[in-house]
Each structure stands twice: as C-alpha cells, then as structure tokens.
Structure 1
Amino acid sequence: MQEYIKWKNYEGLSEDLKEELNSLSEEEINDAFYKHLEFGTGGIRGIMGVGINRMNIYTLNKANYGYAKFLLNHFNNPTVVIAYDNRKNSRLFAESSASLLASMGIKVYFFPEITPTPVLSFAIRYLKTSGGIVITASHNPPIYNGYKVYANDGSQLSPELAKEVIDEASKLEDIFSLNPKPYKDLVAEGLIEVLDDNVNDAYISEAKKLSVNKLDSTSFKIVLTPLHGTSWKLGKRLLNELGYDVILVDEQCVADPNFSTVKSPNPEDKDAFTYAIRYAKANDADLCLATDPDADRIGIAYKDNDEYKIIDGNQIGALMLYYLVEN
C-alpha cells in the first residue's frame, strides 16, 4: 500500500488520474498497485489508468527515462523519432515521451498524425536517428495502450539491449521526480521537430521498388480496411500509385479508439472482415486487405467463386516466399 499512499499524496497528479484514484475499490487498488508495469523485450503494454501497474504518463516516463539513459550511454548527441496510433491517449503519450527525451537533451523528430509502425521503422533509417518510439497496443482491446522502442537499425531492441533500458529505468527511485518541459516550448526551441510529408513520400517511393512483377492491375479491385487504425492513407496511396483500384471501407477509416465496428481489431480474425467482405461483394472486388491498428500485421480475404476465403499471416508469408522463389 506504500505506492498507493504515495500516489494519493502526490499533489501534482493529473486531474483525470486523481479522480480515478479516488473512485477505486479495494480490489481495484490492489490490482493497480501490487506490481510495476513490466518492461518486456519490445517495451511495455498494459491497461490504461492510475497506478504503477497501469499505462499512464508516469509509468510511461519511467520507461522513457530508461530509454533516454540508454541512448545517452550509446550515442553522442542522440536523436529519436516518435510515432503513435489511433488509441485513446496515444497522442498524449507520444507528446509526453517527446517532452521527456527532449528535456534530457535528445533531439526528437515527431510525426504530426497517426502513423503506421513500419513507417516509424523506416524513418529511423531514413533520418539516421539513434532509435525510435511508437505508442501502440497493436490489436489488443481498447482499454490497452503500449510503448515500443527501437534500435538505430529500425528493429525492436534485442533482449540484451532491452535489459539495459530496464536496468536504467530501475534506477529511477521516484517517478514523480521527472519534470519535463512542456511539449510546445520544446517545439519552439527546436528540440522537438514536427515532421512534414518527406518521410512518407520516401517510404512510398521505397515500398514501390519492392514490387516484383508489373501486373495488369487496372481491372483488379482491392478492398482496404485499416480497422480504424493508421494504414488507410498511405495504404491507399501506395496501391493507387501501383495502378490498383482501391475501395476503402469508409466506416473503418475513422480513427476510432473504441474500434466500434469490430469485436477485435485483429486482421487475422474472421469477424474483422465482415465490413470488408460486404464491400467486396457489392463491388465485385478480387481481394480484401485488412491491417491491425498500427499496420504491422495484415490479413487477406480472396475471392473464390462467389465467396471470400481468409488467409492468415503465416499463410501469407508462405505464399510470398513461394512467389519470390518462383519469380
């Protein structure tokens, strides 16, 4: 209960978390404070709310502190690029991350709108930053959010490097002791640089080079759904520039943190294709593509006579490998 009392007595606690803290039952208090939110190999992920076992700006900034110390230990004048998805508090958590790192002397490049995780990985290499952060809980339920950290090669941190981040974060004795400058002030000072479209343009240009064969795409219709997430703008643009006729699932192009039209925003879940298949049948489309909220997972439904059959990520990988070997 020591941590609970500490949070209860902290006068600087944000109003929303203070209100939640005061409303917790004894069982909820135990669950929110019985352990620290764990930093796994890729970062942290948890239910949003008040407490040390919840995802909030204070537990997040403990992880940010560890990552900042890691970067400062490994690089002279480190830089980092930050992206976020459509989930509740994702923008808040992204700005909080940017503010803490910039306040600790790390130059931050910041995506101004929701951005796919693969673009974040590309941006690390394109901008030659020391690392990257994306705020996302992938395809987890709406009550979750998460934090993934990346190395300077665009990959998630290896277990060995992640342990260094964990060790540095554990040295922070008081998570309320961190006092970063406001995000807007750091932008004005140039320590946080808001990105323009150059990274997205470069990403599209490089992605188009991955096309193996020039296909007759003019008569090939694709239904695309981001499942309320980040992929639809760049996904549609990429497919259009490759010559495909793309039909968007309008209801699921809304950046809805509650994922209101699906049980789960998992593109390998059959139910996630309900809207897409409805669009496909109405437009006689050849293929449905669905991505999870941060667009690092994909599912496909293909037309087989008058029905649409779903293939999962493992099957997609096997088919792509077979196609590359044959071509």
Structure 2
Amino acid sequence: MTNTQELYTRWLSQPDLDDAIKAELVSVAGDNDAIADRFYRDLAFGTGGLRGVIGAGTNRMNLYIVRKATQGLADYLNASGLPKKVAIAHDSRHNGELFARETARVLAANGITAYVYPRLEPTPALSWAVRYLGCGAGVCVTASHNPAKYNGYKVYGADGCQITLEAAEKILAAIEKIDCFDGVKLADYDKALADGSIVMIGDKCLDDFVQAVYDQRVGDGAGIDALKLVYTPLNGTGLECVKKLLAKLGVTHVTVVPEQEKPDGDFPTCPYPNPEIREAMQKGLELCDTVKPDILLGTDPDCDRCGVEDGITFPQEE
C-alpha cells in the first residue's frame, strides 16, 4: 500500500488510536500536502537508527513507528546468537519516556529482557549499560542536538557502539516485514515489571559508569580545587553525571546556567541545542561575565557532544 490517502485513512480508522495521533490526523483532513508529507515514505533506518519530526504518520516519530522498529530489533536479536537483553535510555525530548516505555513493552513481549534507566540519562551511560549488563543491544531515545520538534531512536550493538552497517541492514530488513498495527507484540508494562521481563537499572550501574570515566583522568589533579567552571546541560541529560564526575575530580566552584539546568524538551533558550554553536552557549557566556570562570562547558541534550570555551578573558575591573 503506497497511496498516501489510503495510509492516512487506515491510520485514522484504527481502533484505540492514540489520542494525540488521532487529533493531528483529524486536523489535516482534506490537506493533501500535509497528508502526503506524513505518509509519503517510512522514516529511514540506518546506522544512526531513526530520527524525525514528532507527529502522526509513517514519516514521523511516534509510538507506532517506535513499536515497529523495536519489533524488528527483537526479531533480529531472536534470530541471532546475541544475548536476549537490551538496555534502554532516553533524554529530555518530548515523548522520550513514552518511547522508552513502548520499546521495553515490545522487547518484553518477544522474550527479551529490557533494562530501563529509571530517569533520563546520557547516551554514554546507555553505551556503558549495554556492556555492563551483558546486553545484545541498546536503544537510546534521542535526537541528539537537533531542534525540539525532533526525536529519534538510536540502536547500539553489544559492544556499546552504534550498530554497524551490516547490522543496520539486517534490522531494517526485519522492520520492513512488520505492520505497525497488526505485526507488533506488546506486553503489559506493569506485569512485565513484576515478572522481571522489564528491569529498572540500579544506581550502581550509573555510579560505576562515572567511576570508569573518572579513572581515565590524566595528571595528579594539583590545583583543580581552584578551578572555576560554568556548566550548561542545555536542558538535557548531562547534569547528574557531570556533577558527580566534577565532585570526584575535586572541582567545587561550579555554576550551572539556571535557564538551561532542568530538562526541557522545548529548549526555550536555544532552538538548536548544539554546544558547538554560539547561540546555544549564549546564556553561558552571559553568565561568565558575572562569574568570570576559567572554563565554560556545555553538553548537548543526550550528553555525547561537548563544547568548551577556555582562556575566557574579561575586562579588568577598575
């Protein structure tokens, strides 16, 4: 079925269709261009997994597309010799917790144990959990540093790295066989938690991750107690792990950019939350005028990209 109007009609006619999805579809009734944009293709799946605008349709990120991708991943794992365990994390983006939960439900229904971080955590912490827990794969629900309207679904291999091209092709082949409404197995989330098919990742996993990062430090740390630092997580996931690591390192003079401290999928102060561009770091730079730190540090929403400004100079005070 390739006709966009037929796909639109089929989605809209689904019993128990998600309310938000249904409302969006109803809102574009009669708008052929809007319907075509949502249904003219499936989101591309590759080595970076899925990434797209949040919304209704096959060309959007929504719970049905996430379920379909996860069913494909489950079929791939069950046909392989890899461990039947998957670690799952999400960042601060809209629907991140929902998509992580749906991922766990599909995996559990397919006989694969889903290990889920109980709160948002960085992508590197997900990579760590894959290896730490002996998983066959990992999923991080994130769109990295893209604008707020996006979300994504990154898949990681048993080594904690993004999947290879060969693995991506096999997972895609499995995904393409699945109907997103009729071909997906779903477990009851609470029952799966009770029977151990879904497991919350304990704090020790994250603490051991921070310790492992700390163990990579260089130098003897002399003078680090005098370092002044301004940090921004850009309303993403970095705050918990970065603060834990800085404390271990002995960095005590830390000022967090208040407007960008708490998780917020709207990213209200930086429409493009990439710490490599000045616009995203502007609030931090403004705070530096007051704090006068040695370093300004920023991380993107899933905390796998870092921006640093050192050697910051300020006008001499009279």
How many correspondences in the alignment? Answer: 307
Is the CA contact 2:82–2:136 (under 8 Å) kept in the aligned structure 1?
Answer: no
Matches within 5 A, 1:1-327: 1-24=5-28, 25-75=31-81, 78-215=84-221, 216-244=223-251, 245-306=253-314
In structure 1, how many angstroms separate the alpha carbons of the residues matched to 2:181 and 2:254? Answer: 47
Q: Which amino acid aligns with 1:231?
A: G
Question: For the structure 1 residues 120 and 289, does the alpha-carbon distance in structure 2 shift closer, same or farther, using more than 3 Å as the test?
Answer: same
The CA RMSD measured in Å over matched residues stands at: 1.3
The alpha-carbon deviation at position 179 of structure 1 amounts to 4.2
Aligned AA for 1:224? Y
| Pairwise CA distance, 1:268 | 0.3
SS of residue paired to 1:222: strand
Whole-angstrom CA distance in 1 between matches of 2:202 and 2:179: 38
Unaligned stretches of 5+ in structure 2? none
In structure 2, distance between residues paired with 1:73 and 1:294: 30
CA positional deviation for 1:35? 0.9
TM score, norm. by length of structure 1? 0.91
Deviations 1:275-320 (CA, angstroms, capped at 9, x unpaired):
112222212200011010000000011134327xxxxxxxxxxxxx
* Mapped partners of 1:183, 1:160: distance in 2: 31
Cα deviation for residue 274 of structure 1 reads 1.3
How far apart in 2 are the matches of 1:208 and 1:280? 26
Shift of 1:76: 6.0
Q: Is the 8 A contact 2:86 2:113 kept in 1?
A: yes
- Contact 1:4/1:29 (<8 A) preserved: yes
8 Å contact from structure 2 (residues 68, 179) kept in 1: no
Percent of aligned pairs with the same residue? 38
- Whether the 8 Å CA contact 1:224–1:236 is kept in 2: the answer is no
SS of alignment partner, residue 115 of structure 1: coil
User: How far is the alpha carbon of 1:130 from its aligned partner?
Assistant: 1.0
1:186 counterpart letter in structure 2 = A
Q: What letter matches 1:185 in structure 2?
A: K
Distance 1:303 1:15, change over 3 A: same
Question: How much does 1:177 deviate?
Answer: 3.6
Amino acid at match of 2:257: V
- Quick one: distance in 2 between partners of 1:296 and 1:58? 27
Q: Return the TM-score normalized by structure 2.
A: 0.93
Post-superposition, which runs of at least 4 consecutive aligned residues in structure 1 deviate over 3 A?
A: 173-177
